[in-house]
Chains A and B, each alone.
Chain A
Amino acid sequence: MLTKRIIACMDVRDGQVVKGVQFQQLRHAGDPAALARRYNVEGIDEVVVLDITATLESRQALARTINAVAHEIFLPLTVGGGIRSEDDAAAAIDAGADKVSLNTAALRQPDLITTLARRYGSQAVIVAIDAKRRDHGFAVYVRSGTTDAARDAVAWAREAEARGAGEILLTSMDRDGTKAGFDCAMTAAVSDAVDIPVIASGGAGAVDHFTDVFTRGHADAALAASIFHYAESSVSELKRHLRAQGIAVRL
């Protein structure tokens, strides 16, 4: 039986892991390779590295970070943040990423999804969607959550799939860093609309939140950052709890 994936996300700036609340107030959380090593021992299923500065200088630092992480773990590794072109994606993949995550660039140049899917396969292309609740539907934001893209998350996820995306990484901006739980209604709306896997993100604060997003939220995978970084909950404890609640996980 296909298990539900637990994914650890590391927001990286200048080679260090940082974490904010609702996309603000960054604080340091450690060395990416050391964290990846710990997650691997604890049984994480996948790792995502997001470059949250994405300046020209940080690109080289990012390649070193990807390389260091890829030498520590033999698990699927996704890289995102500032991937704007085929060359950016190729650099991340050459450094050791298995998948790239496109956000702003996917909305600005949707052809990039197709170009990368043709070159590397759909399994290598994740479209990341940052969204907020509206009275009707879910509004997509770009540029690290600063700009309303005037798109609905469900419609955009469908389009991304049609263009060749292999997975959707859906982040609730309302919940990001709040530890108030995933937005299950939004996750279910997107997951039910597409055939590709949906990774839920934003709001993980307790083990029950994961149970909720895998049941009510119809998520295929769940991503969290701070809950793991500060060892508030180890990945292995989380998975044992999920299994006890009848959720299939890799132990």
Chain B
Amino acid sequence: MIALVDYGAGNLTSVRKALTALGADFVVPSMPEQCRQARGVIVPGVGHFSATARLDAPWREAIDGALASGTPLFGICVGMQWLFDGSDEAPEATGLGAIAGRIARLAGDADRRLKVPHVGWNSLDFRGQARLLRGLTSGAQVYFTHSYAAPVTTECVASTTHANTFSSVVERDNIFGVQFHPEKSGDAGLTILRNFLEVCG
């Protein structure tokens, strides 16, 4: 059973639909404790980093506890950003701190007509082996919609370039995260979600 954490950041409908299509056994936990019992935890999210403040102490402790016991944790979009220390978008909100680094605003480039937000399909440039990316090749395209992004750290297994290069996929031990929306990225996105489910066993 996978725990799909609902903390009120946007809507879960599309992630639910994708998990259902993949035949995943999942619940949206009403109690933080359910995260400790799950085989995997997914933290989705669209919108503003400040919404992660709703992942208060009991939820953080439960997710941290699951992570410490080896349960795979998958952050999507703002959920991935939350894995880091914090974000310039909402300096008062603290991230989980599972990955060192800070989320910063994307740069645009007026001369090249590169706008922020970064909205649309862009490519994943692989930077090494990753369980999350099995079955895909470097250059695979996925759907992004965001104005803030993670720096390229040692956990970065795929990066993407807009005006600058940022981490689009992170993976280390049982920690996984993607900046884009796998549930909205067609077959490539479903492959990534399926890979996470396989890691969960």
Chain A residues in the interface with B (C-beta under 8 A): 1-5, 40, 45, 70-71, 73-76, 93-96, 98, 120-124, 166-167, 195-197, 218, 220-221, 250
Contact = CB atoms under 8 A, between A and B. Distances in A.
A123 B145 contact: yes
28 contacts: A1-B122, A1-B161, A2-B144, A2-B162, A3-B121, A45-B120, A45-B121, A70-B13, A70-B14, A70-B17, A73-B186, A74-B21, A74-B183, A74-B184, A74-B186, A75-B143, A76-B143, A98-B184, A121-B48, A122-B117, A123-B47, A123-B119, A123-B146, A124-B46, A124-B47, A218-B113, A220-B115, A250-B121
A20 to B, nearest CB: 28
Contacts of B117: 122-123, 166, 196-197
A75 B17 CA distance: 12
Nearest to B161: A1
B135 to A, nearest CB: 16
A26 B143 CA distance: 33
Contact of A120 (B47, B146, B161): B47
Contacts of A120: 10-11, 46-47
Nearest to B123: A1
Contacts of B18: 74
Contacts of B17: 70-71, 74, 96
Interface string B8-23: 0111011001100100
Contacts, number: 96
Contact of B185 (A74, A93, A121): A74
B118 interface: yes
Interface of B: 9-11, 13-14, 17-18, 21, 46-48, 108, 113-123, 141, 143-146, 161-162, 181, 183-187, 189-190
Contacts of B146: 123
B184 A167 contact: no
A95 B13 CA distance: 8
A4 B115 CA distance: 12
B10 to A, nearest CB: 5
A45 B9 CA distance: 24
B122 A93 contact: no
Contact of B121 (A5, A74, A197): A5
A15 B63 CA distance: 43
B141 A250 contact: yes
A95 B143 CA distance: 20
A149 B29 CA distance: 47
B186 A221 contact: no
A3 B120 contact: yes
A250 B142 CA distance: 9
A197 B108 CA distance: 12
A86 to B, nearest CB: 13
B188 to A, nearest CB: 10
B120 A93 contact: no
Most chain A CB atoms below 10 A, which of B14, B17, B46, B123: B14
Contacts of B185: 74-75
A123 B46 contact: yes
Contact of B119 (A71, A74, A167, A218): A167
Given A2-B120, A74-B185, A93-B11, 8 more contacts: A2-B122, A3-B121, A45-B143, A76-B184, A124-B10, A195-B115, A197-B119, A218-B113
A5 B183 CA distance: 18
